[in-house]
Amino acid sequence: MTAPLEAAEPAAAQAAGPAGDDRPARHGVLRYALTKAGGALLSIAMVIIATFFLFRLLPGDPVRNLAQGRNMTPEQLDLERRRLGLDKPLTDQFFDFVGQTLRLDLGTSYEYKRPVLDLIGERLGPTLLLAGVGLFIAVSLGLWQGTRAGWRPGSRFDRFSTATSLVLWSVPTFWLGLLLLMVFGAWLKIFPSRGIESVDAPDGFGYVLDVAWHMVLPCLTLVGVVYAQYLLVMRSSLLDEVGQDYINTARAKGMRDDEVRRRHAVPNALLPTVTLVFMRIGFVVGGAVTVETVFSWPGLGKLFYDAISVPDFTLMQGTFMLITVAVIVMNTLADVVYHILDPRVRSA
Amino acid sequence: MSAITWTRRKRALGRFWDGFRRQRAGVTGLAILVVAVALAVVAPLFIDEGVTSVVENTGPDFAPPSLEYPFGTDESGRSILLMVWWGARTSLLIGFLAALVSMAIGTILGIAAGHFRGWIGAAIMRVTDWFLVLPSLITALVLAAILGGSTFTIIMAIGVTSWPSTARLIRAQTLAVEARPYIERSKALGGGHWHITTRHVLPNVAPLLLASTTLEVASAIVTESTLAFLGVTANKTSWGTMLRGSYDWNAAGQGAWWYILIPGLCILAVVMAFTLCGRALETVLNPRLRGTKA
């Protein structure tokens, strides 16, 4: 591969800029960050515009399609259309929509009769808790197991890990949830099958334990589906490092095997993996929607699902935009952080 | 086509098959796929839409597996075995067609982005990157919900949200192919855009395309079942809608494990088969992976 070339680049960059003058580099990072931020803003603008057209211009009548198979009278349909401003000229609708969105006014929910932003604010906490804890466990477990598997390719542990992750990778998230629900919720009755808290939840520390107890199954489902890909990516990026010259050099110096792994191979393999973790954050979000639906977890994903099944047009549009924008922001951050961390990319 | 070309192609195919045959997992996957597709195709010879009808089926509700109902029955006394068999048609059809749509968009835009440098290529990549960053399941859900559930809209919703990674892959490959001298020769001989992209680039990216289509079908089937579970369906029985039914009717609480297990195992088996096949194809066809242990 192009490894020798890549390795030569930072050396060349250092030779070009002696006397420890790191100003150009830092300047480069800032410019890079600004470019990326500009790109992200453009993407967000595209999301807002696309949302507008998606919800108003697609063939057919969105209100009718959403109401498909549900009991709504023509008067109700008409009322819904007027409430959404669908009877106004399109240009007026567009500027109204963009103006409101920029002022963070996402409209009022049809189902809950409350501002969409308030609803989202209420549901944000449970989602961040579930997705955060799930992501943390998935990343730690995936990186650890991927490292062990990739360091000894072909070993029993490696074969076992690869096989497990292929199975988990093929399992639909919701089905894994249903299985756990059936085994631990319905048969063994060890864990609650729905919600975030018991009806008679105690206060204080007891409440924390109660929530944690409710979180076990949803979290397990999310981790199970998400961590497989981290494992595979970490394994393959470690495999890329194993054959490199610097690893042989480190061995030749007489370092112990796990020291070579810990101090040389893993830090280099970690970089692409961690970026990928953040780049694929959209996948985690999709998983969260499914998991929250299966376990009736009162988070953003459940809110989004409910909006689709009611159907609640404004709520659906608001949650869609918020989730998408959040994913774009996180991807951009990951991009910039990667740029700062990896000298090879920085000098290129 | 001259005889030489055909001999050469036949030989290349033979080499490819030799390589593929050595991938044990890939062959297993292929075998499962052949069986699954064959079963789905011959289904109408033995059963019909009637197996999904609540009225026509009068078996006991939630009956455990028995001789009469090898995989048990659901909440309306329908045989899970027959439902799974009939549902395979919808699941596989949507999986294949959605992957095809995704591949078509990805290939056309990928080749265009790689072939036309300058602002056209840049604009296409900008759009691709934008689609890449969108959470695909969420977007597919919104699309399918707004367009209304039919087989066609579900296929489109999955296809339109899953093409960007293919486009990137194909673009990279196109750039690599177009850097070769024979493309320059072809241009010098008067080959236009159409000639170069269809006669030189497309055949060169085709092997990679085959591998990634196979993987794409796997993920399209998973997406279809997830959409169906989340209530956005084509109103036809598929493995996803069956699982939705098991959730709605609280099969877990009723102890009807077969209702949850069987459709899910079908999804798992088919998706794993596609994944194994795709990985084996990748190993055989991707020159970068050739000869490495991974």
**Per-residue tokens: B178:** 């177009």
Nearest Cα neighbor of A312 from A29, A62, A14, A25 is A62
Cα gap A35→B143, rounded to integer Å: 30
Nearest residue in chain A measured CA to CA from B272 = A170
Residue B59: is its pLDDT beyond 80? no
Question: How far is Cα B215 from Cα B77, in angstroms, rounded to an integer?
Answer: 36
Answer whether A82's CB lies under 8 Å from B171's CB: no
Convert chain A into a string of H (helix), E (strand) and C (coil).
Answer: CCHHHHHHHHHHHHHHCCCCCCHHHHHHHHHHHHHHHHHHHHHHHHHHHHHHHHHHCCCCCHHHHHCCCCCCCHHHHHHHHHHCCCCCCHHHHHHHHHHHHHCCCCCECCCCCCEHHHHHHHHHHHHHHHHHHHHHHHHHHHHHHHHHHHHCCCCHHHHHHHHHHHHHHHCCHHHHHHHHHHHHHHHCCCCCCCCCCCCCCCCCHHHHHHHHHHHHHHHHHHHHHHHHHHHHHHHHHHHHHHCCHHHHHHHHCCCCHHHHHHHHHHHHHHHHHHHHHHHCHHHHHHHHHHHHHHCCCCCHHHHHHHHHHCCCHHHHHHHHHHHHHHHHHHHHHHHHHHHHHCHHHHHC
Average pLDDT score over residue span B264-288: 86
Residue-wise burial string across B48-71, b where 16 or more C-beta atoms lie within 10 A, e elsewhere: eeebbeeeebebeebbeeeeebeb
Distance of alpha carbon A227 from alpha carbon A272, whole angstroms: 16
In CATH terms, the fold of domain B10-51+64-285 is: MetI-like fold (1.10.3720)
Position B217 confidence tier, pLDDT thresholds 50, 70, 90: very high
The confidence score (pLDDT) of residue A60 equals: 56
Query: Which residues of chain A are within 8 Å of residue B251 when distances are taken between CB atoms?
Result: 182
A170 with B138: Cβ contact below 8 A: no
- From residue A154, alpha-carbon distances to A151, A230, B22, B182 in Å are 9, 18, 17, 40
Chain B contact for A169 (CB, 8 A cutoff): yes
* Structure-token pair, residue A44: 């967000």
pLDDT tens per residue, range A262-299: 888 888 888 778 777 877 788 888 888 999 999 988 99
B258-286 average pLDDT score: 89
- The pLDDT score that the predictor gives to residue A88 is 75
Query: Binning pLDDT at 50, 70 and 90, where does residue B266 land?
Result: very high
- The residue with tokens 């790191």 is A22
- Cα–Cα distances in angstroms (integers) from residue A179 to residues A184, A189, A226, in the given order: 8, 13, 17
Say which DSSP state B241 is in: H
CB-based contacts of A17, cutoff 8 Å, min separation 6: A24, A25
**C-beta atoms of A65 and B264 within 8 A:** no
Per-residue pLDDT reduced to its tens digit, B85-124 = 988 998 999 999 999 999 999 999 999 999 988 899 999 9
- φ/ψ of B286, rounded to 5, equals -85, 115
State whether A65 and B145 contact (CB < 8 Å). yes
For residue A162, the one-letter residue type is T
Query: How many A/B residue pairs have CB atoms within 8 Å?
Result: 143
Of B129, B252, B276, the CB nearest to A178: B252
Closest CA relative to residue A217, chosen from A235, A199, A195: A195
pLDDT reported for residue A282: 80
With an 8 Å Cβ cutoff, are B135 and A327 in contact? yes
Which pLDDT score is estimated for A345?
Answer: 59
Mutation pick from A54, A175, A244, A275 vs chain B, by most beta carbons of B within 10 Å, is A175
Best of B23, B84, B134 to mutate (most A CBs within 10 Å, chain A)? B134
Touching check for B152 and chain A: CB below 8 Å? Answer: no
State pLDDT tens for residues B196-205: 888 888 888 8
Are A225 and A178 a contacting pair, CB within 8 Å? no
Calculate the CA dihedral of residues B217, B218, B220, B225 and round it to 10 degrees: 140
Select from A171, A186, A323 the Cβ nearest to the Cβ of B253. Answer: A186
- Among A55, A154, A170, the residue with its CB nearest the CB of B293 is A154
CA distance A183 to B257: 9
Cis bond upstream, residue A311 (ω within 30): yes
- What is the distance between the alpha carbons of residues A205 and A182, in angstroms, rounded to a whole number? 29
Is 80 exceeded by the pLDDT of residue B292? no
Instruction: Read off the pLDDT of each residue in B133-155 and give the average, rounded to a whole number.
Output: 87
The pTM (predicted TM-score) of the whole model is 0.85
Question: If you count DSSP H runs as helices and E runs as strands, how many of each does chain A have, helices first?
Answer: 16, 0
- pLDDT digits (tens), chain A, 348 positions: 333 333 333 333 333 334 444 445 556 778 888 888 998 999 999 999 988 888 776 555 666 666 665 666 777 777 777 766 667 777 888 888 888 888 888 888 877 888 889 899 888 899 999 999 999 999 999 999 999 888 888 889 999 998 888 888 888 989 999 999 888 888 888 888 788 877 777 777 888 888 888 889 999 999 988 888 889 889 988 888 887 888 888 888 888 888 888 888 888 888 778 777 877 788 888 888 999 999 988 999 999 998 888 777 888 889 999 989 988 998 888 888 877 777 665 554
ipTM of the complex: 0.87
**B136-147 vs B202-229: helix crossing angle, rounded to 10:** 70
DSSP H helices, chain B, are 3-21, 24-46, 80-115, 119-133, 136-147, 151-162, 164-178, 181-188, 193-195, 202-229, 239-248, 251-254, 257-285
Average pLDDT over residues B63-72: 80
| Residue B99 in contact with partner chain A when CB distance is under 8 A | no
Contact B51, B79 (CB under 8 A): yes
**Of B236, B258, B235, B234, whose CA–CA distance to B246 is shortest?**
B258
Nearest-angstrom CA–CA distance, A187 and A179: 11
Alpha-carbon distance of B241 to B74, in angstroms, equals 12
Per-position DSSP letters for A113-159, written without gaps between them: -SBHHHHHHHHHHHHHHHHHHHHHHHHHHHHHHHHHHHHSTTSHHHH
Mean pLDDT of all residues belonging to chain B: 86
Burial of A257 (0-12, 13-18, 19+ CB in 10 A): exposed
Instruction: State both tokens at A321.
Output: 């935009």
Is B170 an 8 Å CB contact of chain A?
A: no
Q: Name the CA radius of gyration of chain B, rounded.
A: 22
Contact (CB, 8 A) for A290 and A177: yes
Closest CA to A187 of A220, A223, A217: A217
Q: Does residue A174 sit at the B interface (CB-CB below 8 Å)?
A: yes
Is residue A306 within 8 Å of A296, Cβ to Cβ? no
Q: Which of A170, A179, A275 to mutate to test the interface with B (most CBs of B within 10 A)?
A: A170
Name the residue ranges covered by the structural domains of chain B.
Answer: 10-51+64-285
Asked whether the beta carbons of residue A308 and residue B230 sit closer than 8 angstroms, the reply is yes
CA angle B34, B155, B226 (to 5 degrees): 80
Which of B227, B229, B238, B290 has the highest number of chain A CBs within 10 A, making it the mutation to test binding with A? B229
Enter the tokens of residue B14.
Answer: 């033979």
Contact B293 A153 (CB under 8 A): yes
Q: Is there a contact between A297 and A218 (Cβ–Cβ < 8 Å)?
A: yes
Element at A258 (helix H, strand E)? helix A257-260
**What per-residue confidence (pLDDT) applies to A66?**
61
Q: Are A190 and A231 in contact (CB under 8 A)?
A: no
Q: How far apart are CA B222 and CA B64, in angstroms?
A: 27
Cβ <8 Å between A289 and B141: yes
